[in-house]
């Protein structure tokens, strides 16, 4: 029977990683997959995470099931980190631990579809490709809204607001809370207020994908748009990931938070539990326990915050270096936006042919849309990339 299954297209980003591995050239550069790497190309376990694991090993007395929506201490600690302590009435919130940020997005959409099978989900053009894969596989109608002005490398706010006006009650507007993937371009807080206004008038539910808190302008600053939207709107869902900011990619640690009217809270919470039950019963706990251990211990939290801040500042420095090097190599300000972008990614605005030429002639790998992982660079490779880009656009 399984021979009836259709062949699946290869995942483009993972295929790129394979091609990079197979490339025998010395000095090749991998700017593809979205994993943080330090100056030595490594993705180390953060010191606070290691210490938390040690404590869990020492102190954990059971591995019996937690709750269907995951451990309460984890959900509270991460909710506080995202929304700020006491900012939103807790009685309005429901939450569930999830299988990574991906699982949180999936759970949010499953709830939305259960509430309104006829919904349309509005997503940014472009967006993280897996958003579209998930939406298609769930059979949810989806439509893009304008987001990125490739010419200036900034957010096309006018286009975005105009397109979001089509949304209506029962629809979902999917937003990137910070560090937009793949473009790196983000609305200012003033612009977010305008987005909130349009979504509010539409009656649609905002779904905020928050996968990079702490990678842009800082832990608090990166949560500012999420807090603004959550304050302004009656109904919001937040799909958070701990993969990047805690560096626990493979532990699959995420959280879905829903803000609704207080009267709905019990039902929403029960629906989260029911969705989990039929999909996998209990969400994974190890990563969640690492996160709550770090967040609730002053010393570990301090250590983690400092290490995360060093990661963030390292990426900002690379952004400044790359945009300066490109200015020098190209003699133009065309790539100045790289220094203004935030997060792990920027889209360079090259043609697919130029991207291909960078790969075949220079051994520099990036996704076909010319998105680069800033953390794939270091001091030595920044000038190499700048020179190569200048040559292919000549």
Residues of this chain that bind ligand PMP (CB under 6 A): 34, 100-102, 128, 176, 181, 209, 211, 241, 243, 249, 254
Stretch (H or E) spanning 144: strand 141-146
What is the rounded distance in angstroms from the CA atom of residue 310 to the CA atom of residue 332?
30
Report in angstroms how near the CB of residue 357 gets to ligand PMP at its nearest. 26
What's the DSSP call for residue 15?
Answer: H
Report in angstroms how near the CB of residue 388 gets to ligand PMP at its nearest. 26
Report in angstroms how near the CB of residue 13 gets to ligand PMP at its nearest. 9
Q: Is 211 a catalytic residue?
A: yes
β-strands 253-259, 93-99: how paired?
antiparallel
Locus of tokens 């943080």: 36
Report in angstroms how near the CB of residue 125 gets to ligand PMP at its nearest. 14
Report in angstroms how near the CB of residue 254 gets to ligand PMP at its nearest. 5
Task: Name 166's Cβ contacts closer than 8 Å, sequence gap at least 6.
Answer: 122, 143, 202
Nearer to ligand PMP, 249 or 282 (CB): 249
- Nearest residue to ligand PMP by CB is 100
Nearer to ligand PMP, 113 or 252 (CB): 252
Report in angstroms how near the CB of residue 98 gets to ligand PMP at its nearest. 8
Report in angstroms how near the CB of residue 78 gets to ligand PMP at its nearest. 13
Q: Is 128 a catalytic residue?
A: yes
Using alpha carbons, list the distances in angstroms from residue 220 to 112, 213, 278, 369: 28, 8, 35, 30
β-strands 364-365, 93-99: how paired?
unpaired
Q: With contact defined as beta carbons under 8 Å apart, do 150 and 370 qualify?
A: no
Question: What value does the CA radius of gyration of the chain take, rounded to a whole number of Å?
Answer: 21
Exposed/middle/buried for residue 286 (C-beta within 10 Å: 0-12, 13-18, 19+): middle
Using alpha carbons, list the distances in angstroms from residue 210 to 134, 214, 254, 386: 17, 10, 10, 30
What is the rounded distance in angstroms from the CA atom of residue 320 to the CA atom of residue 297?
34
Q: Is 244 a catalytic residue?
A: yes
Locus of tokens 């953060």: 46
What is the rounded distance in angstroms from the CA atom of residue 31 to the CA atom of residue 193?
33
Q: From the candidates 128, 163, 206, 240, give the one annotated as an active-site residue.
A: 128
Q: From the candidates 156, 163, 209, 222, give the one annotated as an active-site residue.
A: 209
Q: From the candidates 71, 104, 185, 244, give the one annotated as an active-site residue.
A: 244
Locus of tokens 């790539």: 335
Nearer to ligand PMP, 61 or 250 (CB): 250
What is the rounded distance in angstroms from the CA atom of residue 136 to the CA atom of residue 245?
28
Report in angstroms how near the CB of residue 213 gets to ligand PMP at its nearest. 11
Report the candidate in 15, 353, 84 with the shortest Cα–Cα distance to residue 231. Answer: 84
Three-class secondary structure of residue 362 per DSSP:
helix
Nearer to ligand PMP, 106 or 113 (CB): 106
Nearer to ligand PMP, 100 or 126 (CB): 100
Q: Is 6 a catalytic residue?
A: no
The first and second tokens of residue 263, run together, are 């009267």
Q: With contact defined as beta carbons under 8 Å apart, do 201 and 170 qualify?
A: no
Q: From the candidates 211, 223, 239, 386, give the one annotated as an active-site residue.
A: 211
Nearer to ligand PMP, 174 or 338 (CB): 174
Q: With contact defined as beta carbons under 8 Å apart, do 183 and 346 qualify?
A: yes
What residues act catalytically? 128, 209, 211, 244
């Amino acid at each position: 029977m399984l021979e009836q299954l259709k062949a699946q297209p290869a995942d483009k980003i993972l295929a790129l990683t394979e091609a990079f591995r197979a490339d025998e050239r010395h000095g090749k550069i991998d700017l593809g997959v979205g994993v943080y790497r330090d100056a030595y190309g490594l993705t180390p376990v953060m010191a606070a995470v290691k210490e938390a694991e040690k404590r869990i090993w020492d102190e954990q007395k059971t591995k019996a099931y937690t709750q269907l929506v995951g451990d309460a201490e984890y959900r509270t600690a991460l909710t506080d980190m995202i929304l700020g302590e006491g900012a939103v009435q807790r009685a309005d919130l429901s939450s569930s631990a999830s299988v990574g940020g991906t699982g949180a997005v999936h759970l949010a959409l499953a709830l939305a579809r259960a509430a309104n099978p006829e919904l349309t989900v509005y997503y940014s053009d472009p967006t993280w490709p897996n958003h579209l894969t998930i939406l298609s596989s769930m059979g949810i109608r989806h439509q893009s809204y304008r987001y990125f002005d490739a010419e200036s490398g900034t957010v096309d706010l006018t286009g975005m607001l105009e397109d979001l006006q089509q949304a209506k009650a029962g629809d979902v507007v999917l937003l990137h809370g910070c560090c937009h993937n793949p473009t790196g371009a983000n609305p200012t807080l003033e612009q977010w207020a305008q987005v909130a206004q349009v979504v509010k008038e539409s009656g649609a539910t905002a779904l905020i994908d928050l996968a990079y808190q702490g990678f842009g302008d800082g832990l608090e600053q990166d949560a500012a748009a999420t807090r603004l939207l959550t304050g302004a709107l009656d109904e919001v869902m937040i799909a958070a990931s701990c993969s990047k900011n805690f560096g626990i990619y493979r532990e699959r640690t995420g959280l879905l938070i829903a803000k609704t009217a207080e009267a709905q809270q019990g039902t929403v919470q029960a629906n989260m539990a029911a969705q989990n039950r039929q999909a996998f019963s209990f969400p994974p706990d190890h990563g969640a326990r690492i996160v709550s251990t770090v967040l609730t211990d002053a010393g570990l939290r301090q250590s983690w915050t400092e290490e995360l801040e060093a990661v963030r500042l390292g990426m900002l420095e690379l952004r400044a270096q790359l945009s300066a090097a490109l200015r020098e190599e190209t003699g133009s300000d065309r790539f100045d936006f790289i220094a203004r972008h935030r997060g792990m990614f920027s889209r360079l605005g090259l043609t697919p042919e130029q991207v291909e030429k960078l790969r075949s002639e220079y051994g520099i790998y990036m996704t076909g849309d010319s998105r680069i992982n800033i953390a794939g660079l270091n001091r030595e490779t920044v000038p190499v990339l700048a020179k190569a880009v200048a040559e292919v656009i000549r």
